[in-house]
Copies of this chain bind each other. A is one copy, B any other.
Amino acid sequence: MNPFRAGGNHYDYLESESGTAMPGEEGNSSIAYQPVANAPSNPRPSRLEFHPEEYNTARRSSSSPSMHLSNKTIVFIAAVIAACVGIALGVIIGWFSSQARMQGMQSDVLKEGDASVGKLLMDEMKADNIKEYLRLFTSTPHLAGTAADKKNADYVRDEWIKYGLKPVRQNAYNVLLSYPDSVKPNRVTVLNSNGTTFSESKTEEPPLDGETIRDDVVKPFNAYAAAGTIENELVYVNYGRVEDFQRLERTLGVNVTGKIAIARYGKIFRGDKVKQAQIFGAIGLILYSDPADYAVGGISSVYPDSWWLPGYGVQRGSLYITGVGGDPLTPGYPSLDGAFREEESSVGLPEIPVQPIGYDDAKIILGELEGDTAPSEWQGGLSGLTYKLGPTLRDNKKVKLEVFNKNVRRSTYNVIGMIPGSVEPDRYVIVGNHRDGWVFGAVDPSSGTAVLMELARSMGKLYKEGRFRPRRSIVFCSWGAEEYSLIGSTEWVEEFAKTLGKRAVAYLNVDISVQGNYTFRAKSTPNLFSAIYEATKQVPDVPLPGHMDTVYDTWAKRKPWSSENPLPYVSNVGSGSDYAAFLGELGISSVDLRYDYNTDLNISSYPLYHSMYETFRLVSEIMDPDFHYHLAVSKVWGELARSLADSVMLPFDCRTYVAHLQGSITTLKTTYAAKMLTKGITFDSIDAGMASLTKAAEELHKYIEGLDSKNPFEVRKINDQLMYMDRAFTDPAGLPGRPLQRHIAFAPSSKDSYYGDAFPGIMDLMFDIENSADPEAQWEAVRKHMSVVAYTLHSVATTLTDVNVLGIQPS
């Protein structure tokens, strides 16, 4: 099944003379849409009022005299009449002039955002520009902590200044990164029983289509994997999930303690595989990409002919489970100069060597494995191979794993730019994307970076030309070192926690902008579902003549919520990208947008993810030749930001939030209520909390619907209630065992950092509770956390109502 839709012609782009020149810089007049003449003249809503009283008075005064009189009298009468008419006219003129002037003043602060600006903004964005930005950012590898990444950071800063963002700053954090040794390559070797080498894994990805192996292409490795050389038998652990290890130990009778594990990539975050491997006693871990997950189209047609992973392609990636916190050495605090750093040994970095390899190498190794045949659903896609569990290898072979990674402190750079709000500059709508990629990063993240640049250029242009000035500030963020541990964004959130906690309206993330062309995809806190829907309804899915569908239409058609609910599906916010600290540490409502492949493919990521083959060619010739989908994401992102920044009333919907949570609680009940009841634990308090939350949300929106927003303070009050709803879900103590994951309703699963759990504390505590170290203590923790959840729901309800500090108890 081909995830890409037909009809994608090669894009016939005009190549600029300089390979690195950006569209915003030259040829600006040729690509810039000049909508001034045709643009609606920003009509101010007419608010002149008819005042019948004054008007009638004037008319009565001018009623005609009926008697004949002397000349002088006539002159006098005429004068009086004229004077009266004049006065009346004057009163009307004076009144209305003044009204118009005053309303001009008053409406400045309550003027509804001009939705037509959204159209202007969208028309300003061009697929060509995005393509050229992408070409630039993929022209060299730009790994975090390298000179190339700093050069990009400087470029972004300088461009944004040119675009008119003001102010623009680059800020640096000194953080712990990880690199393979430049001389001694990491390697997986199969040794014969006599110690000679049976096979040796490749240490580099071979060039396949013009890629070159250079010093700045980092060799395949897993960041933060412990350095070490180990040698032992091998156990195949499927995807390395907790359930896989449990099955091995409990059902399949294979103990990984003291052995090296080999797991296929996919399903969950790789760091969680390492975590479980350690828990179950493995001394090292080999990660590989199985064709069943990364070459579903078959290994005969792979990159550069298709988007499927070739045999020596390797997924790089970090192993650090942040639990948010960013830089591993400064959890909860920014990594500024002079800041206290924790000991490396105390912060939960991986304790075992881990190395990723491609499936050609994996086939050789797995081919030597003996032991029981792995369960059928553990059988991967390597042809001609029956997957065995191990631990022995044929002829007493052993596996040797050599990892020479080094953790080093380096500077990473964010670039932050602003379009200051005209009325409420202290309200920030934040858009962000990370800039660092493992190699060329054409999809991750440069497809998003290119879109961010085009968004910044377009908004900056309209702003500079005086055609767009949002009422709230829009903050543009280009993050550093996301790939390691969401570091740049998290350190920034930590540095400015006190300010962002009070002022941020929402964080709108685009990491990868396009990883397929099947349908739009969003992760979001539920209060922003409807705002996302509205934005996607404004954007054509493919800007081709005759193609009338909006992004929304295709999304709703291809990914409806369910058979009963035709709205497009939106997933929970997990921890896969830079929204994690915004939502998890501070409770800032967050959104993540991208264009996606068809999830029916049942793959865990686009196949070339984090390999060297994420190239400009991949994107511009295979994945989105016309850059239609890049452009669509760009427009949705821009329109969403605009609507949040410019609407007088924030387009937040608390009712959807509550309904969504209600669904999650129903699921929790289905799963756990009976088991909990055996310990006397009920959902009663949580139900009561949900009831008051439901009521509060309904009443707030009813109030908003009836609101005659003439009082700016009233508007601000309601907006604060809407905006702070997510804040109220945070608990300073954090989730059980995860003090920096403070959002009680949404957090990454503790079993898979990619996945967003609803009420993750309950999920975590209940998971396999019978087999926990101390079940009674665990049940006590469940009791306590259920109480915290109920309290939190109640808390959120109080923030949605006006006079509420008086308590909800009857007097």
Contacts and interface: CB of A to CB of B under 8 A. Distances in A.
Interface of A: 54, 71, 74-76, 78-99, 102-103, 105-106, 108-109, 157, 167-172, 332-334, 336, 338-340, 414, 416-418, 420, 423-426, 428, 473, 475, 492, 495-500, 502-503, 684-685, 688, 710-713, 716-717, 720-721, 724, 727-728, 732-734, 739, 742, 783-784, 786-788, 790-791, 794-796, 798-799, 802-807, 809, 811
A416 B803 CA distance: 11
A805 B418 CA distance: 9
Nearest to A686: B338
Contacts of A424: 713, 717
Contact of A426 (B75, B684, B802): B802
A796 to B, nearest CB: 7
Nearest to A732: B732
Contacts of A108: 711
Q: How many copies does the complex hold?
A: 2
Given A87-B87, A473-B803, A787-B338, A711 B82 contact: no
A142 to B, nearest CB: 20
A333 B811 CA distance: 21
Given A82-B83, A90-B93, A733-B739, 8 more contacts: A79-B79, A89-B90, A96-B98, A169-B811, A172-B809, A334-B791, A426-B721, A475-B805
A799 B90 contact: no
A58 B787 CA distance: 74
A342 to B, nearest CB: 8
19 contacts: A54-B94, A78-B79, A79-B82, A88-B90, A90-B91, A90-B93, A91-B93, A96-B98, A102-B106, A109-B713, A168-B806, A336-B794, A338-B787, A338-B790, A339-B790, A426-B717, A498-B798, A498-B799, A716-B716
Contact of A83 (B86, B172, B420, B734): B86
A87 B88 CA distance: 7
Nearest to A86: B86
A59 to B, nearest CB: 14
Contact of A803 (B414, B425, B713, B811): B425
B799 A502 contact: yes
7 cross-chain pairs, A with B, having the tightest CB-CB distances, nearest first: A90-B90, A86-B86, A94-B94, A171-B807, A340-B787, A79-B82, A91-B94
Contacts of A713: 109, 423-424, 712, 716
A582 to B, nearest CB: 12
Given A90-B89, A91-B93, A98-B98, A418 B806 contact: yes
A424 B498 CA distance: 23
Name the residue among A333, A498, A727 with the largest chain B CB count within 10 angstroms: A498
A499 B82 contact: no
A473 B96 CA distance: 36
Nearest to A503: B805
A336 B798 CA distance: 15
A314 B366 CA distance: 82
A796 B501 CA distance: 12
Contacts of A85: 83, 86
Nearest to A784: B340
A95 B82 CA distance: 20
Nearest to A106: B106
Contacts of A86: 82-90
Contacts of A498: 724, 727-728, 795-796, 798-799
B78 A87 contact: no
B418 A711 contact: no
A688 B74 CA distance: 85
Given A167-B806, A711-B423, A784-B340, A95 B92 contact: no
Nearest to A414: B807
Name the residue among A424, A475, A727, A811 with the largest chain B CB count within 10 angstroms: A811
Contacts of A502: 720, 724, 727, 799
Nearest to A684: B338
A778 to B, nearest CB: 14
A95 B157 CA distance: 50
Contact of A811 (B74, B170, B423): B170
Contact of A495 (B81, B105, B807): B807
Contact of A109 (B82, B96, B711, B728): B711
